[in-house]
Chain A
């Protein structure tokens, strides 16, 4: 029998002895124990693991499951995912891990599933470390976490409230060219942003996205197939991903995030540089997120985003178009679909379909995604069909 080319290999296994009850234990604890068995079985060290596939709802945490698990295990993976295929999840993880390795995203993927079983199920489904160690001290929700990041940036670099507010003002300005934006017809000046109520110092209300309902979708096919279809193809030229933590207290840095290595990989895969981008489609849940991304992309030195924003025109006809749809700060944040607005706008611009706000001769776009507290990062370099 002749074997097909190997598409990947399983190098280590771990298994916990089944028990009827796990009273008082958490899924995260079980995951830690079985992961340790598998990684050591492979003769690897935790530092070798750069990919992570987990099941849904583990760690009694409804969202950000891979980041919660990665932080718990002290991992900082370059690829992380939930595989939610019921009983097919385990097998489903194996080919996805191999595909991610073949795509050049990572080299060693931990695929882990575990569960607890209690006589009386826990009263609250949320039993993750943030719920236990942050919430009792008065820190619930993303606003406070991003306020802490912003305060740290101001302390480390002396960045000014005006610099952050300028990002919100630009988002509002660009939203005036997008009739669909929630803030269409409602521009806001830097002074108006700074005069809005303080939510958690130093973060003002108008520096935070407005939650809205919405939806976004894209269809991905092969490059060959795309060229046979109706619309101009928009190509994925490079990608990068990085997950460093879940809770803000566990962030390796408060002023530079996982987008830095994620963007570096995306630029390297695509053979491009940040300065070559015709569109910066940057995830903007808060003004601080855009500030950190501008610096992490290498568009300016660390701490210099305020000067960079002052020196550039971020509108569609400017020298550094940034979030031409208004960003989420101007468009609104339809929950998780908010991140996809940055992909959809990049495709519009690269197809030449951004009516009323088209960037002339748009060839390259940088798209970033960000999750939790500058914790989960994905960067894409997209290119127009040549």
Chain B
């Protein structure tokens, strides 16, 4: 049913439809509305779930780890410092091969403290073995939560997933969303069948000492599984369309990319602004396009190569940077094109950190910059006069 809802509420309503048995989270801006809503649903008896209050994000992640280990579907949500505090546990959740979904309200990382949006928090945990999806709008957040459970719980995969939504822009933005019917969700997401679980009748050990004789194999298995997830994501997205009647592209959305001479690659809500600029510039006769990256981990390198190989000039627009190097998506994309013949010219741009507005004008300037020399990590809209040498 179509409703006008806040992003956080959209997530809470969708999570309710997923019937998690355990929810644990710690409040943090701008994620709080999500778990506030879920707590209310549990208190009102609208959601049959254990809502476990914890004293930190480290504990929240540990509680959901335990819940999934016991064979129960679980959910958590966090943001920024909270995600970083969860990081140690997230590596364990992935290593123990426990599927669960965490929604991250993307927010900048301290210091200085900043509660506004960028992607530094989630890209920082990209190496953990957790699937990562980025949403452009609230409908996509809801759809990706469903997809994330479905892919993560696939017995071939059995991995956690992080669904990323831009803090404030999406969490606090109201949009019309189509919340699916319970029976549709039940069909897409049948009861959780854990590959292994803690069971006194049939004891198991999880995450016990991996000596040098076996540790490397566990990491190899994680890497191989991540790559296998690319196929599972593809089939799950087809199944999604069959059941819910709307498309959810598996890896990326191509927007006016076919004949584009210049294209921007970006993740998250900024894609909406870019689409507007693309429309305007197309009207002026400029062949520009957008590739909105949805699946960041696993990185769909081959799919991106195919989508972008004929675009001569590409800008990777990122709300994050690996300090002292480049933007993380820029690095991955460059690696995907490394050694290929007639590879596009790929430039990296850092934009919108800590809630700095990304205007249509900024996007236009990025397209303009593409005409100039290749830049690896150019900060856009930065007031250099405020910084002393």
**Are both chains from one complex?**
no
Interfacial residues, chain A to chain B (CB-CB below 8 A): none
